[in-house]
Amino acid sequence: MIEEHIKQIIQKLGADKVLLGAGVKERYEHIWEMDKPLRAKAVVFPLTTQDVSDILTICHEYHQPIAVHGGLTNLTGSTETNADELVICMEKMNVIEEFDLSSRTITLQSGVILEAIHQEVEKENLLFPMSFGAQGSAQIGGVIATNAGGLRVFRYGMTRNLVLGLEVVLADGTIISSMKKIIKDNSGYDLKQLFIGSEGTLGVITKAVLRLHQKPKSRNSAFVAMNDFENVVAFLKFIDEGLAGTLSGYELLWERNYKAMTDPSTNISKPLSYGYKYYVLIESLGSDYEKDQQRLESLLEEALTSELILDAALAQSMQHIELFWRIREDVDILVSQCNNVQNFDISLPVSEIGTYVDTVFKTLNETSEVDNFFAHGHVADGNIHFLISKDNNTIELTDKINTIIYKPLTALGGSVSAEHGIGTHKKPYLKLCRSKEEIQLMQLLKTTMDSRGILNRNKVLNYEN
Amino acid sequence: MIEEHIKQIIQKLGADKVLLGAGVKERYEHIWEMDKPLRAKAVVFPLTTQDVSDILTICHEYHQPIAVHGGLTNLTGSTETNADELVICMEKMNVIEEFDLSSRTITLQSGVILEAIHQEVEKENLLFPMSFGAQGSAQIGGVIATNAGGLRVFRYGMTRNLVLGLEVVLADGTIISSMKKIIKDNSGYDLKQLFIGSEGTLGVITKAVLRLHQKPKSRNSAFVAMNDFENVVAFLKFIDEGLAGTLSGYELLWERNYKAMTDPSTNISKPLSYGYKYYVLIESLGSDYEKDQQRLESLLEEALTSELILDAALAQSMQHIELFWRIREDVDILVSQCNNVQNFDISLPVSEIGTYVDTVFKTLNETSEVDNFFAHGHVADGNIHFLISKDNNTIELTDKINTIIYKPLTALGGSVSAEHGIGTHKKPYLKLCRSKEEIQLMQLLKTTMDSRGILNRNKVLNYEN
C-alpha cells in the first residue's frame, strides 16, 4: 500500500526516480557502518532543482520528514534515518554547469563529488583548496552543508569562505537562488550564510558557485620539534611572518602520534629523532621551488639559533614531502592500533591548547577503559583531533569519554565541533559551548524556516512539535 | 512632557546618558551632511551590553523604533533618523577588552574606532587588515554591521572573514553572546553571520572578537598599462600565480581617472605615459623587500615580453609607493572636478567588467546632465566604483543615473552594492539583484527576529506592519 504523497512524488518525478521496499534496503545508510541496511520510507533521486522543489512541496504538505544523502561521509550521524523518513539522494544531480576561467569560479549541482571538482579545475591550473580524506566520496552539497574544514583552512578558509553563490530549496519547496559569481555583495542579507554549516536542517542545497584560486607552482615542507607549547605558538608567528602569505599548513603532532606513525612496523622513516614533546609539520605553497626552499631553510636556521625550535628536517624532494604528510594524514595507521575508536574534532583558543591537552592526556591515562589515545591538529586554527581507543563501545563509556574531552571547553571558550558538526552524536553537548539564548535563536530560525520540522528532523536541534 | 518609556530609560541608565530636546539638535546626523541638525526623540549613550539590553527591552515593550549611531560614515542613509526615533549612540562603548597575542585576536566593544584598532595591534607587529578612507571615524560595530570591504579584500577578505566572535542584542533585549576566539567552530548555526552585513536591522552589535594577521614586513607596488580588458584579467591570473599569496591589491583605473589624478594641477607626477585604456596598480605584501622587488621586476619583464602588459613602472621607494597609492585613493581630487557627485559601489563577474563599463561610459557620454564621470575599482574582487558629476541634484536625475548603472547588472549577475550596503538610498534597486523569494526570506527573518520592527526601521527592507 503506497501512501498518497509517495504516489504523488512518483507521478511528478517518474517511477525510475523512486526506490521503495526492497530497493531501499539494498542501499547502505552510512559508509562507516556498511553492515546496516538503509531504513527509509523511500529514496528519491532528483535530477533538477525543480525536482527537489516538487518533492519538498509534497513532503511539506504531508508533514513527511526527509533526510538528504550526499556522499555519506558525515561523522556525526547527520545522515542517519528512521523508517518513517524519506531520503533525497543527490547523486544524480552531479553536473558541472559552468567553469568560468575569467571569474575563476565553477558553477555546479550539489551532487558533484569533491575530487571531481579538483580534477576539473586543475586542468586549467586552478585550485579548489577544500581537501580532506573523504574527498573521493564527499559531495559538494554535503561539504557546504557541514562547512567542512580540512587541511588548508589557515590559508584559504573554511568552506564558507569558498562559496560565492548558493541555490537552496526551503522546506515548503520555495527555491532561493543566490547564484552570483562575485566575491563582494552587500545587497541585503547574505542568505547563503544561513545554510552553510546548518547540516541540512534549514534547506536543501541544490547548486553552488565556488571560488577558485590559482594553483601554487611549488610546495615545500619541513618537520620541526619543540618541548614547550609557548614555542609552538611563537614559531607559528615567526614562520607565518617569514613565509608572508605562503604558509598553508601548520600541523601539530604530540609525540605519541609521531612515534606511532613512524614505528618500524609502518615503514615510514622518522624525519626527526624521538624525545621531543611536540612535532610540527609546516607547508608553504609558493611560486618558485628553489627560492622558497632557500627561504624556508634560512628561517629554520634562524629559529634553531634562537632556540625557538630544537630540531628541524626540511623535505628535499616530493617523495619526502609525501612521506612527511603521511605522518600527519595516514590516520588508518593510528586506527589500526586501536580497539574501539572514538573521534573528536574540538577547537579552542590557540593559547589554551598546550595545558588543555596535557590535562586531557592525564585524565585519559587514569581512565582504565582507555587503552590508547592520540592527538594531532590544525593548531594554527585552534583545532585538535583526538583518537581514543577504548575496551568497549557502551553508551556509558562513550559519554564518559565525551565528558573528559568536552567539559573543560566551556571554561576555555572552545567548541565541541570545529569541523564535523553536531548531527545527532554531539547534540547533548551543544549546550557546553553555546548559550541558552544562542540555542533558542537557532530553534527560532529552524521553526520559522521549517515550520513542520521536515528537514533533517532532530539533527543539531531537538524537534519541537 | 517626557514619555513614559524615555523616563524608564533615564531611570535605568542615569540622566547623564540621555540627551533630549536641544541636546539632540546639537548633534549632527551624518558627517557627509554636516549642515542638518539631528532629528530624534532622544540620544542614549550606553556604556555596557547590559545598558543596550535595558534600552532595547524598554523600546521593544513600547514599540519605540531605534537607530544605532557609530561613526556615521555610512554612505547609504542607514544612519538617518526621523523625529520619532531614538538614537543609540555607541561612542562610549569604546573599550578594548583583551589583546591576545597567542591567539592573535582582539576583543573589544563595538564603539572602538577602526584606526584605534590599527594603532593598538601594530605595536605588536600584527595587522587588522580592514582599511578604508573613513577609518579615523568609523567604529568597528558599523564596520561589522555593513560588512565593510576596502582595499585588501582580495587577500584578507571582507569584514565577515575577520570576525571570529560577536555579541549582539536582539530587538527584545536578549543578549546573544558568541564571543569565541576560534577560527573554526561548527557547533550549530553560525549566528554571527546573520548580523554581519545586515545594517543594524536584526540586532545591535555590542562586542566583537577580531582575527589579526602578522604584519607584513615589506610592501612593493607597480603600475602597469594595457588596452584590452582580457589582458587585465589575464595579467591578474599571471601576477597572482607569480606572487603566490603575497598579492594584496589589484586596482584598476580607467584612463579618465588616471589622467584626472595626474593632471599638472594635482602635483602628482604620472608613473606611466597617457594613451592606454587601462592602468592597474598592484601591491604585494611580503617579508623581504629586496627579494620581493626582484621577483616583481622579473614578473613585469616577463609580462612585457609576452605583451600581457604594454608598459610598467615599479615603485623604487616608499615615497613612490605612497604616490602610486594617492593616484588610486585620493578621491577628493576627482570630487573637486565634479559638480554634484553621485557615488556607486557595484560588483559583477570579473569577465563582464570591460564591456559593462564601456557601455555605461557611452550612455553617460550621451546623457546631457552628466558633465563628468570616473571609474576605478578593486577589479580582482569584481567591484567597480563610479563617481558621476551632474548638473543638478534632483530626484529625477539621481534615479536616471541609478538606472543607467544598476539596470544592466540584473542580466550580468551583478550587485547594486559590493560594499556600502542598501540603507535607504538603494532600497528601490534591491530587487534588480535579489529575487522575490530572496527578499521574502529576508522579510521573514526580519519579522521573526524583530517582530515590532524597531531596529533601523525601513532600512534595507520596507517596514511591514
ipTM: 0.96
CA–CA separation, B251 and B232 (whole Å):
10
Search chain B and give the residue with CA nearest A239: B214
- CA angle at residue A116 from A324 to A376, to 5 degrees? 30
pLDDT for B151 equals 83
pLDDT-derived band at A30 (thresholds 50, 70, 90) equals low
* Short-list A79, A78, A85, CA closest to A6: A85
8 A C-beta contact, residue B18 and residue B6: yes
pLDDT for B286 equals 94
Of A103, A216, A421, the CB nearest to B244: A216
Search chain A and give the residue with CA nearest B175: A437
Search chain B and give the residue with CA nearest A286: B244
Amino acid at B280: V
What mean pLDDT, rounded, does chain B reach?
A: 95
Q: What is the DSSP string of B248-272?
A: EEEEEEEHHHHHHHTSGGGT---SS
pLDDT for B104 equals 96
Strands (E) located in B102-151: 105-109, 126-127
pLDDT value at B451 more than 90: yes
Looking at beta carbons, which residues of chain A come within 8 Å of B249? none
A108-162 pLDDT, tens digit each: 999 999 999 999 999 999 999 999 989 999 999 999 999 999 888 989 999 999 9
pLDDT-derived band at B22 (thresholds 50, 70, 90) equals confident
CB contact under 8 A, B187 and A417: yes
E strand or H helix that includes residue A206: strand A204-211
B363-395 pLDDT, tens digit each: 999 999 999 999 999 999 999 999 999 999 999
Q: Which residue has the cell 542638518?
A: B36
| Closest chain B C-alpha to A338 CA, distance in angstroms | 27
E strand or H helix that includes residue A361: helix A353-365
Arithmetic mean of pLDDT, A223-227: 98
Of A194, A382, A420, the CB nearest to B182: A382
pLDDT for A150 equals 83
Rg (CA), chain A: 23
What mean pLDDT, rounded, does chain A reach?
A: 95
CB contact under 8 A, B186 and A435: no
pLDDT-derived band at A41 (thresholds 50, 70, 90) equals very high
pLDDT-derived band at A398 (thresholds 50, 70, 90) equals very high
Looking at beta carbons, which residues of chain A come within 8 Å of B442? 188-189, 191
Best of A151, A186, A190, A425 to substitute, by most chain B Cβ atoms within 10 angstroms, is A186
pLDDT-derived band at A36 (thresholds 50, 70, 90) equals confident
CA–CA separation, B204 and B339 (whole Å):
37
* CA B73 remoteness from chain centre: 9
Q: What percent of chain B has pLDDT over 90?
A: 91
pLDDT value at B30 more than 80: no
Arithmetic mean of pLDDT, A424-434: 97
Q: What percent of chain A has pLDDT over 70?
A: 98
Query: Hey, how many other C-beta atoms are within 10 angstroms of the C-beta on A1?
Result: 2
A165-185 pLDDT, tens digit each: 999 999 999 999 999 999 999
pLDDT for A464 equals 80
Name, in order, each residue with C-beta under 8 angstroms of A45's C-beta and a sequence gap of 6 or more: A13, A17, A18, A19, A89, A91, A92
* Short-list A330, A274, A272, A319, CA closest to A300: A272
CA–CA separation, B150 and B132 (whole Å):
5
pLDDT for A38 equals 87
CB contact under 8 A, B349 and A103: yes
* Short-list A109, A149, A147, CA closest to A133: A149
- Angle between helices B436-449 and A436-449 in degrees, nearest 10: 140
Size of interface A-B (CB pairs under 8 A): 298
pLDDT value at B36 more than 80: no
Of B190, B241, B448, the CB nearest to A448: B448
pLDDT value at B299 more than 80: yes
CA–CA separation, B367 and B394 (whole Å):
15
Arithmetic mean of pLDDT, A282-300: 96
pTM over the 0.90 mark: yes
pLDDT-derived band at A31 (thresholds 50, 70, 90) equals low
Arithmetic mean of pLDDT, A214-239: 97
pLDDT for A11 equals 97
Residue B69 backbone dihedrals phi, psi, to 5 degrees: -110, 120
* Cell matching residue B114: 577602526
pLDDT value at A66 more than 90: yes
pLDDT for B234 equals 97
CB contact under 8 A, A347 and B185: yes
B176-204 pLDDT, tens digit each: 999 999 999 999 999 999 999 999 999 99
* Short-list A204, A175, A203, A171, CA closest to A452: A171
Arithmetic mean of pLDDT, A413-435: 97
pLDDT for A1 equals 83
Search chain A and give the residue with CA nearest B181: A349
pLDDT for B363 equals 98
Length in residues, chain B: 465
CA–CA separation, B194 and B189 (whole Å):
10
pLDDT value at B34 more than 80: no
Arithmetic mean of pLDDT, B41-51: 97
pLDDT-derived band at A32 (thresholds 50, 70, 90) equals low
Amino acid at B212: L
* Cell matching residue A355: 595545558
Looking at beta carbons, which residues of chain A come within 8 Å of B130? none
CA–CA separation, A414 and A408 (whole Å):
8
Arithmetic mean of pLDDT, B136-143: 97
Query: What one-character DSSP code corresponds to residue B186?
Result: -
pLDDT value at B163 more than 70: yes
Best of A53, A187, A299 to substitute, by most chain B Cβ atoms within 10 angstroms, is A187
pLDDT-derived band at B261 (thresholds 50, 70, 90) equals very high
Search chain A and give the residue with CA nearest B200: A189
Best of B103, B186, B416 to substitute, by most chain A Cβ atoms within 10 angstroms, is B186
Arithmetic mean of pLDDT, B52-66: 98
pLDDT value at A33 more than 70: no
CB contact under 8 A, B415 and A187: yes
pLDDT-derived band at B208 (thresholds 50, 70, 90) equals very high
* Cell matching residue A175: 527555491
Looking at beta carbons, which residues of chain B come within 8 Å of A196? 190, 193
CA–CA separation, A400 and A395 (whole Å):
8
